[in-house]
Structure 1
Amino acid sequence: MPRILGVHAHPDDESIWTGGTLARHIERGGIVDTVTCTWATGTPRHLELIDALAQLGVDHPPKMLGYADGGVPESAPDQPKFVDSRLNDAVGAVVEYIRDVKPHIVITYDAYGVYGHPDHIHAHRVALAAVEAAADSHMYIDRGAAWQVQSLYFVTIGEEQMAGGWNRLVAKTTDPIAIPGTPADRIDVIADVGAWQAKKWQAIKAHHTEFNRSRTLKSMAALEPEALERLMSIESFQRRDLVPGGCDLF
């Protein structure tokens, strides 16, 4: 089984966008590691993240980069916002972690951050730069031996998924005109994770702090069970192989 590393902007993104995929991978005997770019170690959302990962079966602690969430300065006191951080610092930290855990697959957001979220877009850029640099022995020579990731998988939402309910949820935080969804011919993997939907929902619910704050999660929780299942049971990705043949996620 390949080893997966997820690079996410916030606690809860690992569950919302990839919870079914991660739970499936663990159940099949795989190993999952995660990087979360915002929120400091020891904060409430860090502790909720550990609980959420446990719901998915992930027993490795998340690597916290410790930058501030853009709209929540108390997420990382005295630290810069993630989007304002020095790219070299963030990339270097992820390079070191990649070389340490040696994943075959890295999962992060698509170039648009799924729906235009600035922290998601920045995490995409950091992850790409780190994967490239991690494979180059001339880069970050003090951060471990070079390691070549085999494939990147970018979380995305298809046009049909967006029209099927995601548009109303992400519109709570984003201009709805700017969230058309990804055309079907640009999506490489549409995964049915319905068998792991219950674990995924339990992991999402572990993020109590965000449920108290987020209109999106509150709206998600208010959905009829059938509508919630439709949203939770599909996870879509764009695939980019970095070596011949790459590495299959499904």
Structure 2
Amino acid sequence: MRVNSSKRLLLVHAHPDDETINNGVTMAKYAADGVEVTLVTCTRGEEGEVLIEKLANLASSQDDKLGEHREIELKNAMDELGISDFRFLGAPNKKWRDSGMMGTPQNEGKDVFWQSNLDEAANELVKIILEIKPQVLITYDEFGGYGHPDHIKANQVAMRAAEISGTQGWEIEKIYWNTTPKSVIQMGIDKMKEVGSDFFGAESVEDLPFAKPDELVTSVVKAPEYVPQKLAAMKAHATQISVDGPFFALSNNLGLSVRGDEYYTLVKGQVASPLDENGRELDLFAGIK
């Protein structure tokens, strides 16, 4: 890939669809602004559930062809977000398989991402970092958002790769972890209750492991004008996301800002202006020359 922009953003995710759910608005906004956006996906999501009944045979318990199908879904989603540079970690020579959840037989497989050698996987990412030279990296927190082993490993690989690349000629200036403030999630729970629905079965924000104390949220990308692109990309991941389900239908009608605003915790670098009314930076590239 030839670098054409002075601003370059790298995202590291575990499975196809994670990027759209967590960062769809961010990706679409920065791509439209001329930033070089690169997505690295660590597995093909072979162990995901299949929400489309007529495609149930793709599941790992049947024909085990979900990974190939999700590659197509990812491409279609990236087309919607305007992203041309998206890759699988280790491709074309190495492929790590979706690890499934902790404690499952799939999680013990020798070829799954969770069981991969950390430095081997990290060095595959280092190759990409040294090629594209990103100033900004986005990945999960150390808990992987909600504890999925592939999300945890993606964090470990991304952070290790950033460390290694710093010794090989490229220092990533700012590193962000995806997060969602508790106040925003609680607002969603309250609004869903008002209309007689629930928020993924949660009675309280304390029931949701991915919600973080507001004071840990350092940054937010506010770009509601890109919500249509994000929704279109979510629809592209049709085996994994039911956009037409009750939650998304209701949240759309309620105008929940959780979908137009995407939140981050800065773990490397300095928060820089411009800031919003809560003191959160509004541009992930702020302070980078």
Distance change (3 Å), C-alpha of 1:59 and 1:187 = same
Deviations 1:145-197 (A, max 9, x none): x21111101110110122233793396xxxx7352721111111122221111
| Correspondence for 1:56 among 81, 86, 90 | 81
* CA distance in structure 1 between the partners assigned to 2:187 and 2:98 by the alignment: 29
Distance change (3 Å), C-alpha of 1:217 and 1:119 = farther
| Correspondence for 2:214 among 184, 187, 203 | 184
Structure 2 residue matching 1:209: 3-state secondary structure: coil
| Correspondence for 2:173 among 150, 161, 172 | 150
Segments of structure 2 that go 5 or more residues without pairing to the other structure are: 1-5, 47-66, 190-197, 273-282
Distance change (3 Å), C-alpha of 1:40 and 1:113 = closer
Look up the match of 1:108: 139
CA deviation after TM superposition for structure 1 residue 79, in Å: 6.4
Contact 2:220 / 2:264 at 8 angstroms: preserved in 1? yes
* CA distance in structure 1 between the partners assigned to 2:251 and 2:245 by the alignment: 13
Distance change (3 Å), C-alpha of 1:136 and 1:235 = same
Contact 1:10 / 1:38 at 8 angstroms: preserved in 2? yes
Look up the match of 2:60: none
Distance change (3 Å), C-alpha of 1:99 and 1:234 = same
Match status 1:161 vs 2:177: no
Structure 1 residue matching 2:239: 3-state secondary structure: helix
Look up the match of 1:25: 30
Report the aligned-residue RMSD.
Answer: 3.2
Distance change (3 Å), C-alpha of 1:170 and 1:33 = farther
CA deviation after TM superposition for structure 1 residue 218, in Å: 4.7
* CA distance in structure 2 between the partners assigned to 1:120 and 1:112 by the alignment: 8
Distance change (3 Å), C-alpha of 1:180 and 1:48 = closer
| Correspondence for 2:97 among 32, 53, 68 | 68
- Of 87-96 and 177-186, more deviation after overlay is shown by 177-186
Match status 1:12 vs 2:17: yes
* CA distance in structure 1 between the partners assigned to 2:255 and 2:97 by the alignment: 30
- Once the two structures are aligned, what percentage of the paired residues are identical? 30
Look up the match of 1:140: none
Q: With the length of structure 2 as denominator, give the TM-score of the two structures.
A: 0.70
Which of 1 and 2 has greater Rg?
2
Deviations 1:189-239 (A, max 9, x none): 122221111101111111122237xxx995644434224643311100011
Look up the match of 1:135: 166
Contact 1:197 / 1:229 at 8 angstroms: preserved in 2? no
Look up the match of 1:143: none
Contact 2:199 / 2:247 at 8 angstroms: preserved in 1? no
AA at the equivalent of 2:42: C
Instruction: From the two aligned structures, give the one with the greater helix fraction.
Output: 1
* CA distance in structure 2 between the partners assigned to 1:83 and 1:228 by the alignment: 37
Contact 1:169 / 1:219 at 8 angstroms: preserved in 2? no
* CA distance in structure 2 between the partners assigned to 1:5 and 1:60 by the alignment: 10
Deviations 1:113-171 (A, max 9, x none): 2223222121111100100111113xxxxxxxx21111101110110122233793396
Deviations 1:49-92 (A, max 9, x none): 1111111111123234432112399x9xx862211111121111
AA at the equivalent of 1:22: M
Look up the match of 1:120: 151
Structure 2 residue matching 1:22: 3-state secondary structure: helix
Q: Number of matched residues?
A: 232
* CA distance in structure 2 between the partners assigned to 1:120 and 1:40 by the alignment: 11
* CA distance in structure 1 between the partners assigned to 2:229 and 2:210 by the alignment: 28
Q: With the length of structure 1 as denominator, give the TM-score of the two structures.
A: 0.80
* CA distance in structure 2 between the partners assigned to 1:14 and 1:43 by the alignment: 17
Structure 2 residue matching 1:154: 3-state secondary structure: strand
* CA distance in structure 1 between the partners assigned to 2:184 and 2:159 by the alignment: 25
Contact 2:99 / 2:114 at 8 angstroms: preserved in 1? yes
